[in-house]
Amino acid sequence: MTMKQELNLRALRCWLVVVGTLAAGVVFAQDNENPFYININQAQPNRVYEVTSEVLALEYHDHYGEWKEMLLTVYSWQRVKVGEVKLSKQFGLNTYKIEMARLGGSFEINRVYHLLFQAENSQKIEFFLRRVAPPSGQEPVVNIIVNPIQFKCEGTLPNLVEYYGQFSGGRAPFRTQWFVLNADRNEFLYQPREDKIEAEGKTMMISVDKKPVYFVALYVTDACGKQGKKMVQIVCDQAGKNISTIFVEPLSKLPNENAAGKPN
């Protein structure tokens, strides 16, 4: 699967399950209205689920039908028991929607809790749970920092300008895209660069050795498909005394993407 396909898939299932290792911090998210049910039978002790709602949805396939109940015990990140609840069950598929308060009071945001399930025939199933705040719903806020290394509007000396991106907000992971366009904004001067960023903050740097006028655009798309954009125009000061002056002129209107995926 390509990075684009992966991020598109994440956008479609933003509130569905994405499970990874505890160390990697890849998450599970669910809402109150349409929860995704965690399959207890398939849970693994090295996995963590992030829950944004007040309700924990679980499913369990009972293959024995001997006990009428299953015990769920919750431990804090300090390995202290914070609560337990008995879940009624019968042979076959059992589903549960449990208010988080029943599992031991208020779950602290961004704290990891240990869930242990015990059933007949010495069954012990465990996994980790972390309560997180729901996403803000806002698109990433994007900014471009321009660093002229060597720049002359006239002459034969080469130009070199570095561009750094900064962004905040949105839901990780992120897809960043750099575009460098000509003065008419109808042609790429470089092959667009695309990167996957795991957390908000800074993007990869790009460098441009072209002479003005040209445009540099940065698009940041989060895991839910929300997109922030920023574009700057590089021009020379025709009226000023210093011919090497560089102006970074933010644009209020960004280009639309055509069918080929190019800003225009």
The CATH number assigned to the domain holding 238 equals 2.60.40.150
72 within some domain? yes
Task: Give the pLDDT confidence of 79-125 residue by residue, as tens digits.
Answer: 899 889 999 999 999 999 988 888 876 688 888 899 999 988 888 88
Q: Is 13 helix (H, G, I), strand (E, B) or coil?
A: coil
User: Got the DSSP string for 147-175?
Assistant: EEEE--SSSSSPPEEEEEEEEE-S-SSEE
Tell me which residue has tokens 């720049």.
151
pLDDT band at residue 19 under the 50/70/90 scheme: very low
pLDDT at 144 over 90: yes
Q: What is the pLDDT of residue 2?
A: 53
**Is 70 exceeded by the pLDDT of residue 238?**
no
Q: How far apart are CA 74 and CA 78, in angstroms?
A: 11
Residue 67 lies in a domain: yes
Residue 114 sits in the same domain as residue 28: yes
Do residues 85 and 70 touch, judged by C-beta distance below 8 A?
no
Least confidently predicted of 41-55, 191-205, 207-221: 41-55
- Domain contains 261: no
Residues 222 and 242 in one domain: yes
Distance separating alpha carbons of residues 98 and 58, to the nearest angstrom: 8
The reported pTM is: 0.51
In 184-226, which ranges are E strands?
193-197, 201-202, 206-208, 214-221
Residue of 182 and 246 predicted with greater confidence:
182
Higher pLDDT, 139 or 195: 195
Q: Are 121 and 42 in the same domain?
A: yes
The percent of residues in the chain predicted with pLDDT above 70, rounded, is: 74
d(CA 262, CA 49): 37
Residue 208 is predicted with a pLDDT of 95
State how beta strands 81-88 and 214-221 pair. unpaired
Q: What is the pLDDT of residues 31-73, one digit of tens each?
A: 555 567 888 988 877 778 878 778 888 999 999 989 999 999 9
Q: What is the pLDDT of residue 256?
A: 52
Task: List the domain range (segments joined by +) for residue 59.
Answer: 14-131
Stretch 198-227: mean pLDDT:
90
Claim to verify: residue 84 and residue 147 sit in the same structural domain: no
